Structure 1
Amino acid sequence: MASATPPPNPFAALFDMQGEAMREMWGAMMPGAASDATQPPTMGWDDMAAWAETGRALQSMWLEYLGGTGSAAPAGGAGIDPARFLLLSKGWSDAWQKTMADGLSTQGALAEETLALWSGVVGQAAGTNDAGTEMPRNDKRFSDPAWRNHPAYALLHQAYLMVADHLNRMAQDATGLDPAKRDQLAFATRSMLEAMSPDNFIATNPVVLERTMATRGANLVKGMRHLIDDLRRGQLTHTDTEAFRLGETIATTPGKVIHETPLYQLIQYSPATETVLETPLLIFPPWINRFYILDLTPKKSFIKWAVDQGLTVFVVSWKSADASMKDVIWDDYIRAQIDAVDLVRSRLKVPSVHTIGYCVAGTTLAATLAILARRGHAGKVASATFFTAQVDFEEAGELKNFIDENQLEMLGTLSPDGYLDGRYLAATFNLLRGRDLIWNYVVNNYLLGADYPAFDLLHWNGDVTNLPAKWHGAYLRDLYRDNRLVVPDALEADGTPIDLSRIDTRIFIQAGREDHIAPAASVWRLTRHARKDTTFVLAGSGHIAGVVNPPAAGKYQYWTGDSDADSLDDFVAGATEHKGSWWPHWFEWLTAKDAKKVPAKGKRAPGGKGDTVLEDAPGRYVRTR
C-alpha cells in the first residue's frame, strides 16, 4: 500500500523564501549588483575596503573586551554576572517543560492555522488576495513596511505572532498547577517568546538588514561599541548618560541639606512665596530609586510645584547601600521616618507635618503611622499621602513571580557583601516590561546602532540604588510572600507591634491605572485597612508617569469617586473622570482642613543667618553609587 504524500512543510519553504529575500535585498543595496538578484553582487574596491574595515573593527573591539579590559564582575564590582541573575528563573523551568509537553495534543489545530496563515499571507503578498486586507495579527514591533514588502518576512513575523499566541494561551490555561505557579509559567513563557522575536536578530529583521547594507555595516560597529560598554557597566543603557547632570539639568530645585545620618540626608527646599503653609510637607521617596524622580527637570518637578504652591518642602535622600549597611533592616527605615518627622517638627516648631510615602516608602509609612498611633503619637502627622504604595500584597502583580523559596535563596547568593547590587533590581524591573525596556533597546542600540536619546526619565531609571540584603530578603518574605503586614500584630518594628487598623491619620491614596509594579487593585486595598478619613484617586498611566504628571503638561486624567466602595471595580463604575493632572486636586484636599499660613522667613528659608546647613541640594548621598 502506497504511503500518503506528506503535506508540504511551510516552514521549510519559509526559510527558502527568506534566503531569497536576503539575496534580493543584498543585490538591491550593494552598488554594482548584478541585475539577476540570484547571483552574488559585484563590489568595487571602495565597497570591499569598507566591509573589510567593518570586519576588522568588530573583531578588534570584541577581542579587546575578551582580553579582560571590561569583563563583567559579580555584584559590587564593575558589572553584574548575567548567569547568576538568570538562575532566578530556575523555578519556572519544570512547570514550563511539563505544560509544553501537555500541549502537544493541540498541534493539529496549530498546523491547520499555520497552513491557513501560509495561504493568506503569501496570497496577499502575491496579489491574489485583496491588497487592502490587514495582516491577521498586528504588533508595533513589525510596523515598518519592510516586514510586509516581501512574503518571507510577512510570513515570518505572522508565524511568530501566531505561535506566540498559541504558547501564551497554553501557559495561561495550564492544568495541574497552583495559581502562583501558573502565573510564573505565563510570565516565563511571555518573557521567552519576547526574547525569541524575529526582530531581535540580524538575519530575520529586514529593517536591520537594510540599515546594514546601506551603512556597509557601520551600524553593527556602533552597536558593538554600545554592547561592550553595557557589558562593562553590567547594565543596559536606555539613554544618553552624559545628557543630564545632577544639580545642573536635573534635581535643580534650590535647597539645602540640613541633616545627615548614615542612612539618609534630609533636604529642605528654599521657599518661592512670601508666605507658606504653617504645616510643612515631608516626602519619603523609595530607597530602591533616587529621590529626584520627584525633581526631574523644572517643568516636571513635583517638588518645585509644591514649593510654588506655598509649601515648606522637606525630602529624605536615602543612601545607596554598601557593606557598612549589611545589618540594616526595616526597623531602621521606620526609625528614620520617625526621626525625620521629629526633626522637621523641632526645626520649625510645629506640632505636626504632612507626609508623602512613594512606593516602598509608602508601605513603610503605613507601618510608621501604626506605630506612632500605638505609642500615642499619631498627632505628629497631620496627613499621609501614598503614591502607588502597597500594604496588602495579595494582588501585588507580576513581581510575585520572583518570590518563591528557590528564588529568594538565590537572591542571597547575589549579595556576598551584605547588599544587593541595584543592577539586579533594574534587570528585574526591566523584565516586567521586557518588550519595551529590554528588546526594543537591543534592536535600536545593538543592531541598528542608533544614537541614545536624551530622556530624563530613562536617565533616572538607569541610576540604580543598592539595597541592604538582610532587609530586602525580609521584605520579600514577610510582605510580598506571606502578606503579614495586614495581619494585626504579626509584625513589629522598633519594639512595637504593627496594626494598620490603629492608624489615626487623614489619608490620601493615589494609584496608577496602568501600574505594573504596584497594580491599582493592590494599592486600593489600603482603603480596607486604614479605617479613618481616607480619599482614593485613580490616576491615568503607570507607576511613574501616573505620579509625575505636572498640570502644565495637560496629559492623562484621573478619577474621583466613592473611597468607601467595596472594590476598585465598584469605585471605577461610579467614578468621575477629570482631564489632566491630579496634583491640584490633592493640594485642595491637603489644605481643606489646614490652610493657615506663616511668613517664609527664619528656618523656613534654609541657610539663612544663623542656620547651620551641610551642603546644597541635591546633596552627596544621591550621587553615591
Structure 2
Amino acid sequence: MQSTIGTLNLDTLFQTLLQAQREYLANAVSRADVIDDFMTNNPAIEAGKFLMNLYSFNVGKVVEIEGKYLEKQLALWSGKWMQNASSPVVETDKSDRRFDAQEWKDYPLFDYIKQSYLLTSDALLKVVESANLDDKTKEQMAFLARHFVDAMSPANYALTNPEVLKLAVETKGQSLADGLKILHEDLGKGYISLSDEAAFEVGRNLANTPGAVVYENELIQVIQYEPVTEKVHAVPLVIVPSIVNKFYILDLAPESSFVRYYVSQGYTVFIVSWRSASPALQHLTWDDYIEKGVIAAIEVASEITKQEKVNALGYCVGGALLTCALAVLASKGKYPVASMTHLIAMLDYSDPGEIGVYLGHAFLDQQLKTLTQGGVVSGKELSRAFSSLRANDLVWSFVINNYLKGKTPYAFDLFYWNSDDSNLPGPMFASYLRDCYVENKLVQPGVMTVCGEPVDLRLLNLPTYIFNASEDHLVPWKSGYESVKHSAGEVEFVLGGGGHITGPVNPFSKNKRNYWIGGDVSGGADEWLAGAHSMQGSWWPHYAAWLKAHSGSEVPAPKKPGNSKYRKIEAAPGRYVKERVL
C-alpha cells in the first residue's frame, strides 16, 4: 500500500522515521536534557541522573510495564501494516488536542507514529510512577517526565507532523520559510509570540475604561474610574491585582472588562497599577508592597469617597498582599475594610499545586539568599515557568503554529496580556517565596512579622467572598478553598468553571460556562462541592449582588475624579502599565 502527500512518498519516509525511532528509544534516557528549555536552573540534568538510577525502580513492575508495552507495540504494528486490527491500540485523551487534525487519521504512517508515541509516553510515565520514592520526589519526577514526553511529541517536528508536511507541499515550502522568519523575530524578542501583538495597544483597545490616575508613588498608581450611572454605592471597591502581570487582565476589551461591568452596576472602582521593577526599585521588600501599595491605595480611596471603610478585592498574589495588609492594620486596631474578596488567591500554601515542583531543588535556598540582597526578578522568566506547567497549550502549540506552519498567532487579548510581564524586586520576591510558599507563615498566627507587626488572620472578622476556578493550575481550587478556614467572618465561597484566567474573566456579555454556590463551608472542599449547586453563566452578577449588601446606600455619582488633595495626574490607564519588559 503506497501513501503520499503531494509528491512525498510516505512509505520511504516511514522507513527513515522508524530507524530514527529505534535510535531514539535506545537513547531516550540519556536525552532527558530536552526539558532543560522549560526548567529554570537545569533540573533536567538531575532528572537524567535519576532515571539512570535503577535502584529507585521496582524492577518487577518495570518488567511488567515493558512486557505490556512491547505487546501493544506489536499489536499496533500488526494492525497498521498487516490489517489485522480495526481499532486503535491506544485512544487519544479527549483533552489532548495535539492530534485532532484529520491528517493524523487519514495516513496510516502518521497514525502509527502517533499511537507509537502515545504508547511509549504512557510506558515511561508508568515506570516513573512505579519508582520507590516519597510522594514529593515522585511528583517532581513525574512532572519532569511529562515535560520530556511532551517535548518528544511527533507533532512538534516538521517531518513527523502530517499537517505541517501537507501545508508545506501546498504552499511549495513558503509556510516553512514564513515559520523561520517568525522564529527569527521571536528570538529577537526573547519569547514565543502568543498573539498578534500589532492588534492591541494598552489604552486604545485594552485597559480603556475611562478614568484617571489620582495618586502615585514609586511603586503604584491608583486609578479611579469614571461613573456611568447617576448614583453610585457609597462604599467604593478597591482592587489589588497580581504583581506578576499587568492589572488590565481585569480591564480587557470593553465587552470582557471586569472593571467596566462593576462601574456599570453603580460601583466606584479604584484599582492599583503596580510598577514593573527597574534596577532603581530592586531594594523594595514585601513590607514596601504592603505599606506603599495596598495600605496606600485603601487610604486614598477612603479619603476621596469620604468613607471610613471600603470594599477590597485581591486578585491572585494580590489576595495574599491584601489579607496580609489588613492583618497588619488590625494588629494596630485599624479596620478600614467593610468586606474582603479573594479572587483566585491562596492564603494556605501547604498544597500549592504543580508550581510546587520548582520549590524542591537545592538551589532555592541559595537563590533566596541572593535575591534578599537585591536584584530584579525577570517577569519573562516567571512567565516561562508558569507556561511550562501547561506546555502543550502554552508552548508547543505555538511552536507548531508559528514556526512549523508559518502562521501569525491569532489576535487574542488574553494571550497579549499574558506576554505583557512585570519584573519584581528581588527582596520582595524572596520574602514571598520563603514566607508563603516554602514556610507557609501567612496562616500561622504571629509567626510572620510585616511592617513591624505580627500577622494574625484571626483578627480579620469581616464578610469574605472567595472565588476559585475548577481548572486552575496555578491556584488549585481546593487550596484556594483552604482560605475559608482562615476567615473569621461570614464566608461566601464560589467555584467557577475554567482556569486561572478564563475562570474569573467570564464576562456577563458572553455568559459562558457555569459556577457553583451554596455548599457548606463548615467542612472540607469535597464536602462543600457535594452540597453545592451549579448556576449557568457568568458569576459576575452573583458577586455584584453580594457586594451590594456591603456597599451602603446610593449617593450622587462624583462629577470628577479625586478631590482637593488627590487631583488627576493623568488619564487612565496611566504610565506605569504601559512600561514594557524587554
* Counterpart residue type for residue 618 of structure 1: P
For residues 184-207 of structure 1, the C-alpha deviation after alignment (integer angstroms, 9 at most, x for no partner) is: 111111011100111111121122
Residue of 291, 306, 313 corresponding to 2:247: 291
Q: Distance in 2 between matches of 1:38 and 1:487?
A: 65
Q: Distance in 1 between matches of 2:215 and 2:84?
A: 75
Within 5 Å, which residues of 2 pair with 1:485-504?
485-504=442-461
Is the Cα–Cα contact under 8 Å of residues 349 and 479 in structure 2 kept in the other structure?
A: yes
* Counterpart residue type for residue 145 of structure 1: Q
Is the Cα–Cα contact under 8 Å of residues 244 and 250 in structure 1 kept in the other structure?
A: yes
Q: Which moved more, 1:538-547 or 1:98-107?
A: 98-107
Q: Does 1:27 align with 2:7?
A: yes
Q: Which moved more, 1:202-211 or 1:359-368?
A: 202-211
User: Aligned in 2, Cα 1:107/1:155: closer, same or farther, shift over 3 Å?
Assistant: farther
Q: Does 1:209 align with 2:168?
A: no
Partner residue in 1 for 2:287 = 331
Residue of 249, 256, 269 corresponding to 1:300: 256
Is the Cα–Cα contact under 8 Å of residues 125 and 149 in structure 1 kept in the other structure?
A: no
Q: Distance in 2 between matches of 1:413 and 1:163?
A: 41
Is the Cα–Cα contact under 8 Å of residues 362 and 390 in structure 1 kept in the other structure?
A: yes
Is the Cα–Cα contact under 8 Å of residues 294 and 325 in structure 2 kept in the other structure?
A: yes
Partner residue in 2 for 1:170 = 127
Q: Does 1:462 align with 2:419?
A: yes
Q: Distance in 2 between matches of 1:525 and 1:184?
A: 23
For residues 280-300 of structure 1, the C-alpha deviation after alignment (integer angstroms, 9 at most, x for no partner) is: 010000111100000000000
* Counterpart residue type for residue 196 of structure 1: M
Partner residue in 1 for 2:21 = none
Task: Return the offset for 1:488.
Answer: 1.0
TM-score by length of 2: 0.89
Q: Does 1:267 align with 2:223?
A: yes
Q: Does 1:102 align with 2:57?
A: yes
Q: Distance in 2 between matches of 1:327 and 1:451?
A: 39
Q: Does 1:186 align with 2:166?
A: no
Task: Return the offset for 1:279.
Answer: 0.3
Is the Cα–Cα contact under 8 Å of residues 251 and 618 in structure 1 kept in the other structure?
A: yes
SS across alignment from 1:511: strand
* Counterpart residue type for residue 317 of structure 1: S
Is the Cα–Cα contact under 8 Å of residues 223 and 271 in structure 2 kept in the other structure?
A: yes
Q: Does 1:577 align with 2:517?
A: no
Partner residue in 1 for 2:98 = 141
TM-score by length of 1: 0.83
Partner residue in 2 for 1:373 = 330
Q: Does 1:429 align with 2:409?
A: no
Is the Cα–Cα contact under 8 Å of residues 339 and 550 in structure 2 kept in the other structure?
A: no
Partner residue in 1 for 2:152 = 196
Q: Does 1:547 align with 2:504?
A: yes
User: Aligned in 2, Cα 1:120/1:160: closer, same or farther, shift over 3 Å?
Assistant: closer
Task: Return the offset for 1:119.
Answer: 2.9
Partner residue in 2 for 1:397 = 353
Within 5 Å, which residues of 2 pair with 1:233-248?
233-248=189-204
Task: Return the offset for 1:473.
Answer: 1.8
Task: Return the offset for 1:137.
Answer: 1.7
Is the Cα–Cα contact under 8 Å of residues 388 and 510 in structure 1 kept in the other structure?
A: yes
Within 5 Å, which residues of 2 pair with 1:341-360?
341-360=298-317
Q: Distance in 1 between matches of 2:384 and 2:6?
A: 37
User: Aligned in 2, Cα 1:89/1:386: closer, same or farther, shift over 3 Å?
Assistant: farther
Task: Return the offset for 1:210.
Answer: 1.6
For residues 236-265 of structure 1, the C-alpha deviation after alignment (integer angstroms, 9 at most, x for no partner) is: 111101100111111110000011100000
Q: Distance in 1 between matches of 2:561 and 2:44?
A: 49
User: Aligned in 2, Cα 1:224/1:187: closer, same or farther, shift over 3 Å?
Assistant: same
- Note the aligned Cα RMSD (angstroms): 2.6
* Counterpart residue type for residue 202 of structure 1: A
Q: Distance in 1 between matches of 2:369 and 2:284?
A: 18
Partner residue in 1 for 2:569 = 614
Partner residue in 1 for 2:28 = none
Number of equivalences: 552
Within 5 Å, which residues of 2 pair with 1:403-422?
403-408=359-364, 411=367, 418-422=375-379
For the pair shown, which has the larger CA radius of gyration, 1 or 2? 1
Task: Return the offset for 1:573.
Answer: 0.4
Is the Cα–Cα contact under 8 Å of residues 392 and 522 in structure 1 kept in the other structure?
A: yes
Q: Which moved more, 1:412-421 or 1:204-213?
A: 412-421
Unaligned 5+ runs, structure 1: 1-16, 30-35, 40-80
* Counterpart residue type for residue 231 of structure 1: L
Residue of 109, 114, 127 corresponding to 1:152: 109
Q: Distance in 1 between matches of 2:519 and 2:106?
A: 52
Partner residue in 1 for 2:277 = 321
Is the Cα–Cα contact under 8 Å of residues 484 and 521 in structure 2 kept in the other structure?
A: yes
User: Aligned in 2, Cα 1:207/1:122: closer, same or farther, shift over 3 Å?
Assistant: farther
Is the Cα–Cα contact under 8 Å of residues 56 and 131 in structure 2 kept in the other structure?
A: no
Task: Return the offset for 1:214.
Answer: 2.0
For residues 552-589 of structure 1, the C-alpha deviation after alignment (integer angstroms, 9 at most, x for no partner) is: 21211111123423211000001011001111111111
* Counterpart residue type for residue 586 of structure 1: Y
* Counterpart residue type for residue 5 of structure 2: M
* Counterpart residue type for residue 613 of structure 1: K
Task: Return the offset for 1:100.
Answer: 9.3
Q: Does 1:387 align with 2:324?
A: no
Q: Which moved more, 1:561-570 or 1:450-459?
A: 561-570
Is the Cα–Cα contact under 8 Å of residues 475 and 500 in structure 2 kept in the other structure?
A: yes
Q: Distance in 1 between matches of 2:432 and 2:390?
A: 23
Is the Cα–Cα contact under 8 Å of residues 334 and 364 in structure 1 kept in the other structure?
A: yes
SS across alignment from 2:505: coil
Q: Which moved more, 1:99-108 or 1:191-200?
A: 99-108
User: Aligned in 2, Cα 1:224/1:85: closer, same or farther, shift over 3 Å?
Assistant: farther
Q: Distance in 2 between matches of 1:538 and 1:556?
A: 11
SS across alignment from 1:286: coil
SS across alignment from 2:574: coil
* Counterpart residue type for residue 459 of structure 1: Y
* Counterpart residue type for residue 27 of structure 1: T
Is the Cα–Cα contact under 8 Å of residues 514 and 537 in structure 2 kept in the other structure?
A: yes
Is the Cα–Cα contact under 8 Å of residues 536 and 563 in structure 1 kept in the other structure?
A: no
Q: Distance in 1 between matches of 2:479 and 2:41?
A: 28
SS across alignment from 1:613: coil
Partner residue in 2 for 1:78 = none
Is the Cα–Cα contact under 8 Å of residues 537 and 559 in structure 1 kept in the other structure?
A: yes
Q: Does 1:311 align with 2:291?
A: no
Partner residue in 1 for 2:480 = 523
SS across alignment from 2:464: strand
* Counterpart residue type for residue 91 of structure 2: R
Q: Distance in 1 between matches of 2:39 and 2:123?
A: 30
Task: Return the offset for 1:144.
Answer: 2.0
Partner residue in 2 for 1:8 = none
Within 5 Å, which residues of 2 pair with 1:112-151?
112-120=68-76, 122-123=78-79, 127-130=83-86, 133-134=87-88, 136-138=90-92, 139-151=96-108
Task: Return the offset for 1:325.
Answer: 1.4
Q: Distance in 1 between matches of 2:8 and 2:512?
A: 45
Partner residue in 2 for 1:249 = 205
SS across alignment from 2:212: strand
* Counterpart residue type for residue 116 of structure 2: A
For residues 341-397 of structure 1, the C-alpha deviation after alignment (integer angstroms, 9 at most, x for no partner) is: 11111122111100100011101111112122221112x101110001111011110
Q: Does 1:506 align with 2:463?
A: yes
* Counterpart residue type for residue 146 of structure 1: E
Unaligned 5+ runs, structure 2: 14-35
User: Aligned in 2, Cα 1:92/1:381: closer, same or farther, shift over 3 Å?
Assistant: farther
User: Aligned in 2, Cα 1:91/1:162: closer, same or farther, shift over 3 Å?
Assistant: same
Is the Cα–Cα contact under 8 Å of residues 374 and 427 in structure 2 kept in the other structure?
A: no
User: Aligned in 2, Cα 1:515/1:503: closer, same or farther, shift over 3 Å?
Assistant: same
Q: Which moved more, 1:586-595 or 1:249-258?
A: 586-595
SS across alignment from 1:203: helix
